[in-house]
Amino acid sequence: MTKFHGGCLCKAVRYETTADPLNQRVCHCSECQKAIGAAFNARVLMRIEDVFITGPISTFYSSETLERGSCSRCGSSIFSRRASAGIIGLTVGSLDAPSLFKPDMHFGVSSKQPWIVIADGLPQYPEGPPSKGY
């Protein structure tokens, strides 16, 4: 089992996982770019009950069902959460050991920045990933 630990820049928010991730993916959609403040959102998808978070979190809904969380003190992006599906995506930039991230696909590539060249051989999807119920 790969256990992930992480938190924010000021160290006020911390998290740890208690199970293997559902998947590990990179989203290039324009909404993630804006929310993360970067060219893509690399994230580890977990079941909500398998993630324990402490510290001051501020949240907002970027869509009807997707809630994004960041540190209330330093603003570091920590997660995106879809409570209706029971899932939470932890941002790879917030991991203590980002080298543990092992992506399995790219999606939202129709919105990727033109200077991004994806050459890792992983599957690419123009919009959302194939649905697996989450």
Residue the block writes with tokens 């501020």: 58
Q: How many domains does the chain have?
A: 1
Token output for 64: 């009807």
- Domain membership of residue 77 (yes or no) is yes
Task: Tell me: pLDDT of 134 over 80.
Answer: no
Mean pLDDT of all residues in 119-129 = 94
Q: How far apart are the first and last CA of the chain?
A: 21
Q: What is the CATH number of the domain that holds 41?
A: 2.170.150.70
Token output for 115: 């200077």
Q: What is the pLDDT of residues 3-61, one digit of tens each?
A: 999 999 999 999 999 999 999 999 999 999 999 999 999 999 999 999 999 999 999 99
pLDDT at 129: 85
Contact between 53 and 14 under an 8 Å Cβ cutoff? The reply is yes
- Domain membership of residue 78 (yes or no) is yes
Mean pLDDT of all residues in 75-97 = 97
Handedness of CA 106, 111, 116, 119 (dihedral sign): positive
Task: Tell me: pLDDT of 118 over 80.
Answer: yes
- Looking at residue 21, what DSSP letter applies? -
Structure-model confidence comparison of residues 132 and 122, the more confident one:
122
Task: Tell me: pLDDT of 133 over 80.
Answer: no
- Domain membership of residue 15 (yes or no) is yes
Task: Tell me: pLDDT of 132 over 70.
Answer: no
3-state SS, residue 65? coil
- Domain membership of residue 126 (yes or no) is no
- Its domain, for residue 101, covers 5-111
pLDDT at 75: 97
- Domain membership of residue 104 (yes or no) is yes
- Domain membership of residue 28 (yes or no) is yes
- Domain membership of residue 69 (yes or no) is yes
| Type of residue numbered 6 | G
Contact between 104 and 87 under an 8 Å Cβ cutoff? The reply is no
Q: Can you tell me the distance from the alpha carbon of 2 to that of 125, in angstroms, rounded to the nearest whole number?
A: 26
pLDDT at 2: 79
- Domain membership of residue 56 (yes or no) is yes
